[in-house]
Structure 1
Amino acid sequence: MELIATNSQVIPTEQVITQISTGNFIEANTEQVTLNHLQKECIIPVFSKDNESTISHFQFIEKAFEVVQDLFPGEEIYKPNIRVSHIVKGRIPSAIGKPAKELLEHEKTIYYERCAFMIEVPSLKQNVNGNELSLSIGGVRSLNEQNLYSKKALEKFKIFIGFQNMVCTNLCISTDGFSNDIRIGSITELALQMEQLFANYNQVKHLGMMERMSRFELTERQFAHLIGKLRMYQYLDKTAQKTVFPLTLNDSQINTVIKEYYTCPNFGRNTDGSINLWNLYNLCTEANKSSYIDSNFERNVNAYELINNLVNSTQNKVPNWLLSN
């Protein structure tokens, strides 16, 4: 795999917005960087067989920012909040053989294997169950899912539109607001895919489904039973797993849910040990912040589907493996 330097167009000054949304929408093994850093200080991987460039993280985020501005004219839009992980280090040819500790800054090269970003539209707020939610758009690029040792092929991206809970900065992503397998050959095609997803997203339905969660609750006994079933799921054989609701939270994240059930001041249990499903949903999305970039959004959507599965079975009195004895 070879690398080439980035040479992307600078965002016009009049389009630059100084404010970046506060708080981490993801935490695991990531660091925050700026769009300028990705553009000017990072190199871009290429497909090694034909030396064709990949679409850079900078291009992806820049195009998403443009699409958001076009779709929401006149709205306040924050600069992208960008998180990266799995740094890949290199050096320029003239530094070959030089000890690493003696490398000068201009002799070092870097790029990031994984990148996630979130763009907040703070002027489009909704109140759900007493929590202020802000419309948010974002995406993920994981180069580990791309075969860079071949000729240029369609490249994979993930995008979402949903809300960020401003109480805890948790993302709230619905099924129809997320696409985890966009494969495109150009940045123009990527823009079209983003526009299509954003246009088809049913914001009213998403808000209504989240509001509905607060109408149902689990007793302390039911919560304990649910936690036990969550732990049991990963040990079911493959045939049995296919008969129940699929789960993606790992043991460590389930532990976080249990801890926050007792200690979280915003979404923890009631004095009698009960917890409504909106609060449980937020405990799950908080725990999900420890997921790596390449699985974070999928697990976020799975948490949304999980809670709605519990709501539906409770509302319609339908037996549910997660709640039944």
Structure 2
Amino acid sequence: MSEFTPAWRERDPGMSQRLMKGAIDLHCHSGPSVMPRYCDHHEAMHEASEAGLRALLIKDHYYSATPVTEMLNKHYGHLNVELLSGVPLNNQSGGLNLYAVEHGIALGARLIWMPTFSSANHIAHHKADANFKFPKSDKRMMAPAPLTVLDADGKLLPEVLPILDMIAENDVVLSSGHLHISEIWPLFEEARKRGVKRLLTNHPTYIVDANLDDIRRLVGMGVYIEHSMCMFAENSKFKFYDPETLRGLIEAGTVERTILGSDLGQAGNPKIADGFRNVIEICLDLGYSEDDVRKMTSTNAAQLMGLAL
């Protein structure tokens, strides 16, 4: 075996494909969307089925895809892919809107995202960096009204509290969205006090501005940490990080609390399944075992979402 060839590639070259079977992607950006996508939700479901994935969570920053996922699950159950979705609390959903949360959960939403594109933190990144063109929609959209979960004194806004209660009552997932890490601490602390059991932080080092110590602290609170495969995958236009960075992130967050989601679906990026497989191979190249990678691409996500193990 060449010293440059990871052992698994010669010993068990089918391992990455085997790990695709039963994998769960909690970060799929299919369309319709006002942002350019290479596939729609139905096509993403077919792609996931062909690759062997068992579940796909559809994320659009502007609307809840839950009615669509419920319909597709009903009519395309033979594909053996369960579609999930949630409610993004951005301007288009009314911001920190309890009614949107109630309605989404009643329809079957499994996750509530705190503000993403509409968060004051996201907007501040936009203004501070001329190269930060995210989102980039097909059509010109109204400028977002910045949203935060904190008042001027750093306390949670009163409208956040009943949202946390509703999340707890229905045992769905609370994602911190694109809030700054300084906003996440009081949010998650209050959420835990109110009985929220399922907590998620997406791409903590991108926009959220969390460091490795923050990730360790989040994990200590019982939070799952999701890293976006599009930021590590080859040929991704969002490839910001190298494999050693991924190793450091996994070590900080532990294999038991790390989730790898594709964050793919954008036009001009690798296909969802291709990016997913590529990052699985990166993890294997880094020396993570088949069992470790299975946890980060399937088991952990299943536990977070309450899916059968």
TM-score (norm 2): 0.23
Q: Which has the higher strand share?
A: 1
TM-score (norm 1): 0.22
Structure (1 or 2) with the larger CA radius of gyration: 1
